[in-house]
Amino acid sequence: MMNWGEFFNMGGYAFHVWTSWGLSLASMITIVILGRRKNAKIKAQLANQIRREAKINSDNQEQ
């Protein structure tokens, strides 16, 4: 069984090692989340636009 306290201490370099790894992980996750969110946003915007256009069209036909 390994010693977790010793592992997290990283031989006294805990701050340096964990900040570097943490920053890398955080930026990767951020990139992916931002990308996915943007995709949803673009699709929602477009869908909205299409719905609005459909409504305008049907309104025009009713007149």
Partner 1 sequence: MNPVSATWNFLYKTYHRLASPREFYTIAQYTTPVFGVLAFVLLLCGAYLGLFKAPADYQQGDSFRIIYVHVPAAWLSLMVYVTIATAAAIGLIWRMKMAFVVAICSAPLGATFTALALITGSIWGKPIWGTWWTWDARLTSELILLFLYFGVIATYYAFEERKTAEKAMAMLAVVGVVIVPIIHYSVEWWSSLHQGATVFAEGGPRMPADMLTPLILMIFGFMFFYGYALFIAAQNMVLNNERKSKWVRELVTVNINTTH
Residue number with CB closer to partner 1 (3 or 63): 3
> Binders of partner 1 among 15-54, rule CB under 8 A?
16-17, 19-21, 23-24, 27-28, 31-32, 35-36, 38-39, 42-43, 46-47, 50-51
Angle, CA of 11, 16 and 18, to the nearest 5°: 85
Radius of gyration of the chain (CA): 25
**Residue ranges in contact with partner 1 by CB under 8 A:** 2, 7, 10-13, 16-17, 19-21, 23-24, 27-28, 31-32, 35-36, 38-39, 42-43, 46-47, 50-51
